Amino acid sequence: MSESMDLSGRSVLVTGGTGSFGRRCVETILSKFKPDKLIVFSRDENKQHEMSQALNSKVYPCVRYFIGDVRDLRRLQRAFKGVDFVIHAAALKQVPAAEYNPIEFVKTNIIGAQNVLDAAIDSGVKRVIALSTDKAACPANLYGATKLCADKLFISGNVYAGENGTRLSVVRYGNVLGSRGSVLPFFAGLRHRGVLPITDPRMTRFWITLEQGVEFVLQSLAKMEGGETFVPKLPSMKIVDLARAVAPECRHEVVGIRPGEKIHETLITEDEGRHTLELEHHFVIEPEFEVFWDGDRHRRDGGKPLSEGYSYSSDSNPLWLTIEDLHLMIESEHNRLRNVSSGATAD
């Protein structure tokens, strides 16, 4: 995929801006561009305070901190005034928590998504790109189902955006190395016990670093026409290989998969494959209902239709991470965390 859109001189808002992705996204934008305004929208005042200490307002006068919840449409409408681009990263995402608190996930992930796109259209935001997850493809749990619904809302939002110019697209990718709630810090935290719980030794997952995720979202923001879902080509890894990379001295105890969990993950289903284009480094899932869609740009960029029956799943992926690859990724993540804890930030 080509370079990111030049965000210098633009006004950008990141929902969930104090989360793992949101913070790295803000830091990346500040390191590469000179935005007119960069708005961190989130509901956690403490995280905003901590972030404002690291990203000093004297060094980064363009950064604004806006306390708010995507469940609150009026607050979003106020925050979106004069904004050019929105990166929607706010979500509730813990699978077990979703099963026990379903309506809370519906309020944030579905109703919140509707509020974001309504506020964007009403405020004349030019582009909105929303983060999705592999769990939205053939969802087996409530979290995945809420994200699939949100994806559908953003895609269909292009229909009633009408002629005001707002365009909305989605990015879908796999598990993020080192993000809050991921298996990497979970395994690292249990290493001292000498035993790591393995849900199923056959389990595989797609894997992406936080930095790669941010770069792909910014590149997709530049490429989007409105209505497509961007999927990066990612390596797969075996859960048992990750456990060996994190703690080679630990034995494994098979505990069984959790409710709503899959043995393998899917990024593109066979049904979606029928209207998906493959490019060198990513896929583009085109909208199934072509009321507003003209996908010539992605074809001009070299996009080719997939073969009949194609699906993109973590177990049949041709690209795999070895234990050595995982070692390098983990070491890089540890170095990043050390830099963050010592006060170093992107500049």
Summarised one tens digit per residue, pLDDT across range 305-340 is 999 999 999 999 999 999 999 888 878 766 765 665
Residue 43, domain member (yes or no):
yes
pLDDT of residue 342: 55
pLDDT digits (tens, 9 = 90+) for 187-208: 888 989 999 999 999 999 999 9
For β-strands 304-305 and 276-278, DSSP reports them as antiparallel
Which residues are within 8 A (CB) of 153 and not within 5 positions of it... i.e. 6 or more apart? Answer: 110, 113, 114, 117
**For the chain, how many structural domains are there in total?**
1
- How far apart CA 122 and CA 170 sit, in angstroms, is 19
pLDDT of residue 341: 54
Residue 2, domain member (yes or no):
no
pLDDT of residue 2: 65
Put simply, whether the predicted model's pTM sits higher than 0.75 gets the answer yes
- How far apart CA 119 and CA 184 sit, in angstroms, is 36
Q: What is the largest CA-CA distance in the chain?
A: 60
Residue 334, domain member (yes or no):
yes
Residue 264 structure tokens = 């393998």
Residue 62: HSE in the Cβ half-sphere, 13 Å Cα cutoff: 19
Which residues are within 8 A (CB) of 43 and not within 5 positions of it... i.e. 6 or more apart? Answer: 67, 68, 69
Under-70 pLDDT residues of the chain: 1-2, 178, 180-181, 290-291, 295, 333-334, 336-347
Residue 135 structure tokens = 């769990």
Domain ranges, residue 129:
11-341
pLDDT of residue 57: 83
pLDDT of residue 56: 84
Residue 212 structure tokens = 């790669």
∠ CA 142-200-196, rounded to 5°: 105
Q: Which residues are identified as catalytic? A: 135
Residue 241 structure tokens = 């290989």
Helices and strands, number each (H, E), in the chain: 13, 17
Residue 61: other Cβ atoms inside 10 A: 9
pLDDT of residue 346: 37
pLDDT of residue 177: 78
* Cα–Cα separations (whole angstroms), residue 29 to 37, 79, 85, 225, 346: 11, 19, 12, 21, 9
Residue 162, domain member (yes or no):
yes
CATH number of residue 229's parent domain: 3.40.50.720
Residue 318, domain member (yes or no):
yes
pLDDT of residue 5: 83
